[in-house]
């Protein structure tokens, strides 16, 4: 008998919380961050208008997802209004009517056919309307999951104190796959996890289901995330064993009403290590049969299983090249097994064999462009935002737009592996917008990365964006309260990449901390400036990988590692003559992997954006940058500015005492103290190291800014 601690339609993140507004005089009560952006705090003065607009709630439909809608709206209104809005089938002034044309006669009678046809299976129409002579709010969708997304959208408007009297919202997600990629291990650890141990309690599953599994699915669904790969890309073969598949199936059952599908990272050598075969060669019929049988076994347990994510022939992981086969042959092997069940294979392009090219940044492009068109229809190549490895700033990966016949989905990273982990406040919405808005020029102007991912540049059977996001068992899920914003921003930008980073930051702040306008504006400014500040005090002007083995502390002197391209000196190449990696046409010609005019922009020293200067160019220390300063002086300015900006970030946060509950204010301040100290450490150690090569002093006016 399965013991369920919280049913799949349960709501345990809810509960009443007193939100702050411009009228609040007393400090808000302490919070621990567990409820994320689903606190449903009182929207203050706006609450009265919302109550008039929500006299009762009618949800037409009997599915488990409809049950989630009812529970969510009831919990949210109870928290925001101090009482639940009644759930009944009447139509009255102020009713909220939710359903699909199949489940609701009222929805059918509104004749929304043209609009519903345009929103697909996951989109929704949220509209103020008149039904039976009454002013009502309608959430209509083609499927129940779309109605749930619409309900969360309405609640988001209310949480952020937005008007809901005259609504006319029609939305659908920009891409199909919007997935969390967890790097969790079966022993409970998380690779690049900074918030405690794994969420998945394998010893208790499948018999005991933590209420946290429901809360996780709610959080994902509320921002449009529709799937999760729950195990590390460095995959343990046991995840595909019968024992663990039963555990995985129990999680999938909990998530299903929230539209969150299950995916698994598969180890390419599983037929050998788990199945007892002598080979995992893609051309061996016995290997193909093993994968087909395994797919049948999985779908018997999880009928809506999404598919496999594979890291192959990368950093020691097995793959088809072990047997002299191509990545396409390896991916197609698994794709054929999944195809009868409509599953997909996400094949990671994070490969950098040394025999492909001397420059690691060029290798994935060379490997995969020559395979374009050779992949099965249900294979997507999963490409990191940049060509190295989630660096604080990279130019967009040249594979975006280059694969004309193969679906390409993007992989970004919210877990802050190289951006301060859970110790630094670094909002990544600005970084991701820079990436998504980058124009590849694959088919002329307007061929942005976002448009490539949406299949608007090259027609694509599979569209998507995924994020390595590693929440753990820490009470606040992410270790740092502000790290929650990156989980939130991923979901919102995956749903709609046209949103601004500023708008997403404001939404998250109002839902997570306060609706006080001045406090919101202050926090939003902190968030928007935080990524550039981090780049300034760590790796400005296109520098990259100046970091140690833990991917946290500065280590520009690192010249010893199992591979040369795991060292810092490989990338910065500092000497008395200069610094930087020459990827121009006169260098190793990496710029030619980009379409013109992008390649021309990066190739020309004068036109190359200075944020990518040393990524593409090797420059003398006395090279004059756009400010008129020498390169050495500009580096010094950037590092000093970054450290000063980190200090200012903490001072600004301290000014919000009394506006934010004392517990979270204190916990964030403690992390900001670490960030200030780390920023100074980065500044001092990097400049001391590079000063040995430049033979130049730090400008005296900068040294005067050091806080004694």
Domains along the chain? 3-171 (3.30.379.10), 177-499 (3.20.20.80), 536-581+618-703 (3.90.1330.10)
pLDDT-derived band at 44 (thresholds 50, 70, 90) equals confident
Omega before 323 within 30 of 0, i.e. cis: no
Q: Which of 122, 389, 532, 603 is catalytic?
A: 389
Q: Does the structure show a pLDDT above 70 at 10?
A: no
User: How far is it, in rounded angstroms, from Cα 311 to Cα 318?
Assistant: 8
- Provide the pLDDT for residue 703: 72
Q: Does the structure show a pLDDT above 80 at 11?
A: no
Q: Does the structure show a pLDDT above 70 at 706?
A: no
Residue 389 is among the residues annotated as catalytic for this protein: yes
What predicted TM-score, i.e. pTM, was given to this entire model?
A: 0.96
User: How far is it, in rounded angstroms, from Cα 250 to Cα 467?
Assistant: 23
Q: Does the structure show a pLDDT above 50 at 708?
A: no
With pLDDT > 90 as the criterion, what percentage of the chain qualifies? 94
How many other C-beta atoms are found inside a 10 Å radius of the C-beta of residue 322?
16
The CA angle 225-470-80, to the nearest 5 degrees, is 55
Residue 506 is among the residues annotated as catalytic for this protein: no
Q: Which of 30, 93, 315, 688 is catalytic?
A: 315
Q: Does the structure show a pLDDT above 70 at 81?
A: yes
Mean pLDDT confidence for 114-140: 96
pLDDT digits (tens, 9 = 90+) for 142-168: 999 999 999 999 999 999 999 999 999
Tell me, what DSSP letter sits at residue 697? Answer: P
Q: Does the structure show a pLDDT above 70 at 65?
A: yes
Long-range contacts of 287-294 (CB under 8 A, 24+ apart): 287/333, 288/333, 288/336, 288/337, 291/333, 291/334, 291/336, 291/337, 292/336, 292/337, 294/240, 294/270, 294/337
Q: What is the number of residues in the chain?
A: 708
Q: How far is CA 610 from CA 393, 572, 574, 619, 698, in A?
A: 12, 15, 18, 12, 20
Cβ-Cβ contacts under 8 Å for 586 (sequence gap 6 or more): none
Cβ-Cβ contacts under 8 Å for 246 (sequence gap 6 or more): 205, 206, 301
- C-alpha 535 chain-centroid distance: 19
Residue 417 is among the residues annotated as catalytic for this protein: yes
Strands (E), 562-657: 578-579, 619-620
Q: What is the overall mean pLDDT for the chain?
A: 95
- Provide the pLDDT for residue 408: 98
Paired tokens of 354:
């040394």
Q: Residue 589: is it exposed, middle or buried by C-beta count within 10 angstroms (0-12/13-18/19+)? A: middle
pLDDT-derived band at 704 (thresholds 50, 70, 90) equals low
Q: Which of 171, 411, 417, 678 is catalytic?
A: 417
User: How far is it, in rounded angstroms, from Cα 155 to Cα 69?
Assistant: 11
pLDDT digits (tens, 9 = 90+) for 460-500: 999 999 999 999 999 999 999 999 999 999 999 999 999 99
Residue-wise DSSP of 150-212: HHHHHHHHHHTT---SS-EEEE--SSSEEEEE--B-TTS-BTT--SSS-S--TTTTTTEE-HH
Tell me the β-bridge partners of 380.
Answer: 346
Phi, psi of 409 (to 5 degrees): -115, 155
Tell me the β-bridge partners of 265.
Answer: 309
């Amino acid at each position: 008998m399965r013991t369920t601690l919280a049913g799949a339609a349960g709501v345990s993140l809810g509960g009443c919380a007193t939100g702050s507004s411009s009228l609040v005089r007393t400090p808000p009560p302490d919070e621990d961050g567990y409820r994320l952006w689903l606190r449903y705090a009182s929207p203050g003065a706006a609450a009265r208008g919302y109550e008039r607009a929500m006299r009762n709630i009618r949800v037409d439909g009997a599915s488990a997802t409809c049950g989630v809608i009812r529970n969510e709206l009831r919990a949210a209104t109870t928290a925001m209004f101090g009482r639940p809005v009644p759930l009944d089938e009447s139509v009255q002034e102020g009713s909220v009517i939710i359903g699909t044309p199949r489940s609701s006669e009222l929805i059918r009678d509104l004749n929304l056919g043209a609009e519903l046809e345009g929103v697909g299976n996951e989109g929704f129409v949220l509209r103020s309307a008149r039904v039976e002579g009454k002013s009502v709010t309608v959430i209509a969708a083609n499927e129940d999951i779309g109605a749930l997304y619409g309900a969360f959208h309405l609640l988001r408007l209310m949480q952020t104190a937005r008007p809901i009297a005259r609504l006319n919202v029609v939305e659908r997600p920009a891409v199909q796959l919007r997935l969390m990629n967890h790097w969790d291990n079966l022993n409970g650890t998380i690779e690049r996890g900074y918030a405690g141990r794994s969420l998945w309690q394998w010893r208790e599953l499948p018999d005991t289901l933590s209420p946290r599994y429901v809360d996780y699915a709610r959080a994902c669904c509320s921002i449009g995330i529709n799937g999760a790969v729950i195990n590390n890309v460095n995959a343990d073969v046991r995840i595909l064993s019968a024992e663990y598949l039963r555990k995985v199936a129990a999680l999938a059952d909990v998530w299903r009403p929230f539209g969150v599908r299950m995916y698994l990272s598969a180890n390419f050598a599983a037929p050998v290590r788990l199945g007892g075969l002598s080979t995992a060669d893609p051309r061996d019929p016995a290997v193909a049969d093993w994968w087909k049988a395994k797919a049948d076994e999985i779908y018997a347990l999880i009928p809506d299983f999404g598919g496999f994510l594979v890291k192959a022939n990368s950093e020691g992981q097995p793959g088809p090249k072990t047997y002299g086969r191509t990545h396409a042959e390896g991916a197609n092997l698994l794709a054929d097994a999944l195809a009868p069940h409509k599953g997909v294979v996400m094949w990671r392009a994070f490969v950098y064999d040394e025999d492909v090219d001397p420059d690691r940044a060029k290798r994935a492009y060379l490997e995969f462009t020559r395979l374009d068109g050779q992949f099965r229809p249900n294979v997507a190549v999963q490409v990191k935002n940049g060509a190295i490895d989630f660096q604080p700033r990279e130019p967009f990966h040249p594979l975006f737009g280059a694969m004309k016949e193969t679906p390409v989905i993007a992989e970004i990273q919210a877990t802050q592996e190289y951006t301060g982990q859970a110790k630094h406040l670094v909002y990544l919405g600005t970084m991701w917008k820079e990436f998504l808005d980058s124009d590849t020029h694959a088919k002329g102007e307007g061929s942005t990365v976002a448009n490539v991912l949406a299949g608007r540049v090259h027609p694509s059977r599979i569209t998507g964006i995924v994020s390595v996001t590693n929440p753990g068992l820490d009470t606040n899920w992410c270790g740092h309260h502000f790290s929650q914003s990156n989980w939130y921003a991923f979901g919102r930008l995956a749903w709609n990449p046209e949103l601004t980073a500023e708008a997403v930051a404001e939404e998250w702040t109002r839902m997570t901390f306060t609706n006080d306008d001045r406090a919101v504006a202050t926090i939003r400014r902190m968030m928007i400036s935080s990524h550039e500040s981090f780049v300034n005090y760590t790796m400005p002007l296109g520098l990259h990988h100046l970091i140690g083995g833990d991917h946290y502390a500065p280590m520009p002197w690192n010249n010893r590692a199992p591979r040369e391209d795991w060292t810092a000196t490989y990338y910065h190449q500092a000497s008395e003559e200069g610094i930087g990696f020459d990827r121009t046409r006169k260098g190793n010609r990496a710029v030619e992997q980009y379409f013109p005019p992008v390649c021309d922009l990066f190739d020309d020293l004068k036109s190359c954006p200075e944020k990518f200067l040393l990524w593409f160019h090797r420059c003398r220390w006395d090279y004059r940058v756009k400010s008129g300063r020498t390169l050495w002086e500009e580096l010094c300015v950037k590092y000093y500015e970054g450290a000063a900006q980190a200090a200012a970030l903490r001072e600004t946060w301290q000014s919000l005492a009394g506006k934010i509950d004392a517990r979270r204010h204190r916990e964030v301040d403690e992390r900001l103290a670490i960030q200030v100290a780390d920023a100074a450490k980065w500044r001092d150690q990097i400049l001391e190291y590079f000063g040995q090569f430049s033979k130049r002093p730090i400008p005296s006016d900068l040294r005067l800014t050091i806080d004694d």
